Chains A and B, each alone.
Chain A
Amino acid sequence: MTTAPTVSASGLTLRYGGTAALDDVSLRLREGITGLIGPNGAGKTTLLRVLATAVPADRGAFAVLGHDPGTTAGRQEARRRLGYLPQNPGFHLDFTAFSFVDYVAILKELTDRAARHREVRRVLEAVDLSDVRGKRIKRLSGGMRQRVALAAALLGDPGLLLLDEPTVGLDPEQRMRFRELIAQAGESRTVLLSTHQTEDVAMLCHRVIVMVRGRIHFEGTPAELTARAAGRVWSSAERDPGARAGWRTGLGTFRNVGDPPRGAALLEPTLEDGYLLVLDGEPAEVASL
């Protein structure tokens, strides 16, 4: 692709006390859905909070649609163009779904009442909540609340959407429903989706970034991540001590990743296998940006 990236960041670093939550992170995000996966504490939330302009980085710079959030004016412009769904979105529980989204719309500078209400109805429709818009948020299920928060993030049709683990805590059916909404939202904009589920990445993302301890360990397509495990997954009757990781499958046999012994029964690799190998300290091989 030759279009200008929605987000370009270089050298983002942020320390909390002695630990680097972000350690020299550089990335480019373009239209479509990019998955951001990594174990707990990898710095995913911190990266999203920095890109959302909630917290400034200690070092490094980034631009959102050409605006530099390092300056007051640039930050304002960047904020007008991004939608952010925080990890634990808070709500005013006494507000109805409509009033709450309306409240966020006011924070997003939509002051004309008629135009604002039109936009609120549009985003509630987009997340399929039109029917419950008059219900108080405290009466809505977790999945519905999450959709309210997504609706709020979609206000003003932002060019960049930052979603922090939006499918956590949802039951499988709600998760499927939410994935559809994310897929729709990603059709015409740039989405960065933080998740710890490789399933989310496999189903939704055209790019994937693996973060470990504040650094990017992999950046590429899901197929490329899967390919990292080609010829390096095998099954065995007992746990293979030579494997980097192994787990018992539903068939009772062990699935191992690492360097297979001679004559091992090789298996078709999956995204999980590639992810595990990257996590396990494979040489950082970030695809050229």
Chain B
Amino acid sequence: MRDDKHDGTGWHADADDLGAYVRGELEAPRLWSVDEHLVACAPCRQALAEVGDPLALDAGWERLDAELDAPRPGAFEALLIRFGVADHTARLLAATPVLRASWLGAVLLVLAMTVITVYSAGSPVTFLALAPLLPLAGVAVSYGPAFDATYEMTLVAPLHGFRLLMIRTVAVLAASLALNGLATLALPEYGLRALAWLLPALALTTTGLALTARLGPVLAPVLVSGGWVALLVVADTTTRGTLAPFTAAGQGVAGAVAAVAAVLLLRLRDRFDASPAPSLFPDFAPRSTS
């Protein structure tokens, strides 16, 4: 009935798949393969007509129509879907302003320059001081009215604001930590010491987010990064050798701060469902007039 010579796709949907397809039980991504294949393969369409009951078949055609109509996801989205991210989550991530080549490129450049500085200075401290700030900055610019053009729409959408924030944060954090990790690999002579940025990075990011719930999306990360820089300056003037945050004790404190901030963030999660706290910067405040 089906003739292998009639199409160029090199395979045919088997009877089980077609049966599941008409019953609407076939799951993605197998479903998409069959959808796409049916568009290209007349014999399989014929076979489909023979296995299906008419009502279920109509639903199948409708889905196929929708499939033909829907635009192909962009390169970034397609990549995420390939890595097993659900298509709706991939779309939410594609709408994250930070997850763009331009941002990732800028981060990469900063890291490369820092690594060069480390080589010329003979100490990893510049890298360790800077690396924790990058994830914080990345997460900060993926949230809030100043950075997300559709902020007002996302705010009043039924999707829980905190959930959207977490989806974006996890993605930005993963990308940012991966880049930092690459930079760490470029500094092999410092061994594990070159990883001392990791816990401070998590501490700064979670603290920044927890404070965002109270202070808004601009002031909170600014305060947190200012605090980090101040801490390093103080540590530098008062101690000799390894700076306090990068000693074993300092790492323990960073881990504890991250844990406490994470608990605090969870407790404040409902605050991400309405406009942020009044900002000190009028540009970012909600419009107060008609």
| CA A70 to CA B78, docked complex, whole Å | 39
Chain A's closest residue to B152 (CB) is A86
| CA A165 to CA B58, docked complex, whole Å | 41
Residues of A within 8 A of B71 (CB): 96, 98-99, 133-134
Residues of A within 8 A of B290 (CB): 38-46, 194, 211
Known: A44-B290, A106-B92. A98 touches B153 (CB 8 A): no
Residues of A within 8 A of B286 (CB): 49, 54-55
Known: A103-B91, A111-B88, A118-B66. A87 touches B287 (CB 8 A): yes
Task: Please determine whether B62 and A104 come into contact, CB atoms closer than 8 angstroms.
Answer: no
Task: Please determine whether A104 and B66 come into contact, CB atoms closer than 8 angstroms.
Answer: no
Residue B17 at the chain A interface, CB threshold 8 Å:
no
Of the candidates A21, A75, A82, A134, the one whose C-beta lies within 8 Å of that of B289 is A21
Of the candidates A42, A56, A79, A133, the one whose C-beta lies within 8 Å of that of B158 is A79
Of the candidates B74, B154, B273, B275, the one whose C-beta lies within 8 Å of that of A75 is B273
Residues of B within 8 A of A98 (CB): 69-71
Residues of A within 8 A of B154 (CB): 107
Chain B's closest residue to A84 (CB) is B156
Residue B20 at the chain A interface, CB threshold 8 Å:
no
| CA A54 to CA B286, docked complex, whole Å | 10
| CA A253 to CA B203, docked complex, whole Å | 72
Task: Please determine whether B274 and A102 come into contact, CB atoms closer than 8 angstroms.
Answer: no
Interface size on A, residues (CB 8 A): 57
What 1/0 mask marks residues of chain B from 60 to 92 whose CB sits below 8 Å from any chain A CB? Answer: 001100110111011000000000001110011
Of the candidates A91, A104, A113, the one whose C-beta lies within 8 Å of that of B157 is A104
CB distance from B272 to the nearest CB of A (A): 12
Task: Please determine whether A121 and B66 come into contact, CB atoms closer than 8 angstroms.
Answer: yes
Task: Please determine whether B158 and A106 come into contact, CB atoms closer than 8 angstroms.
Answer: no
What 1/0 mask marks residues of chain B from 267 to 283 whose CB sits below 8 Å from any chain A CB? Answer: 00010011100000000
| CA A121 to CA B66, docked complex, whole Å | 8
Residue A117 at the chain B interface, CB threshold 8 Å:
yes
Q: Which of B39-47, B143-151, B188-196, B214-222 contacts A (4 or more CB under 8 A)?
A: B143-151
Residues of A within 8 A of B274 (CB): 53-56
Residues of A within 8 A of B152 (CB): 54, 84, 86, 89-90
Residue A254 at the chain B interface, CB threshold 8 Å:
no
| CA A133 to CA B72, docked complex, whole Å | 12
Residue B238 at the chain A interface, CB threshold 8 Å:
no
Residues of B within 8 A of A41 (CB): 289-290
CB distance from A43 to the nearest CB of B (A): 6
Task: Please determine whether A54 and B156 come into contact, CB atoms closer than 8 angstroms.
Answer: yes
CB distance from A91 to the nearest CB of B (A): 6
Task: Please determine whether B287 and A107 come into contact, CB atoms closer than 8 angstroms.
Answer: no
CB distance from A157 to the nearest CB of B (A): 14
Task: Please determine whether A40 and B156 come into contact, CB atoms closer than 8 angstroms.
Answer: no
Of the candidates B28, B148, B151, B159, the one whose C-beta lies within 8 Å of that of A113 is B28
Task: Please determine whether A106 and B159 come into contact, CB atoms closer than 8 angstroms.
Answer: yes
Task: Please determine whether A107 and B66 come into contact, CB atoms closer than 8 angstroms.
Answer: no
| CA A65 to CA B185, docked complex, whole Å | 57
Residue B262 at the chain A interface, CB threshold 8 Å:
no
Which residues 110-164 of A have a CB within 8 angstroms of B?
Answer: 111, 113-114, 116-118, 121, 133-134, 152
Which residues 44-97 of A have a CB within 8 angstroms of B?
Answer: 44-46, 49, 52-56, 72, 75-76, 79-80, 82, 84, 86-87, 89-96
Task: Please determine whether A72 and B157 come into contact, CB atoms closer than 8 angstroms.
Answer: no
Q: Which B residues have a C-beta under 8 Å from some C-beta of A?
A: 28, 62-63, 66-67, 69-71, 73-74, 86-88, 91-92, 94-95, 148-160, 164, 270, 273-275, 286-290
Give me the 9 closest cross-chain CB pairs, A-B, nearest first: A90-B149, A107-B157, A44-B290, A16-B288, A79-B158, A41-B289, A117-B66, A86-B152, A106-B88
12 CB-based A-B contacts, threshold 8 Å: A49-B275, A53-B156, A84-B156, A90-B153, A98-B69, A106-B159, A107-B158, A107-B164, A109-B159, A114-B62, A118-B66, A211-B290
18 further interface pairs, Cβ-Cβ under 8 Å (given A82-B156, A117-B70): A54-B152, A54-B156, A55-B275, A76-B160, A79-B157, A79-B158, A80-B158, A84-B152, A87-B287, A89-B150, A89-B153, A91-B149, A96-B71, A99-B94, A104-B157, A108-B158, A152-B153, A194-B290
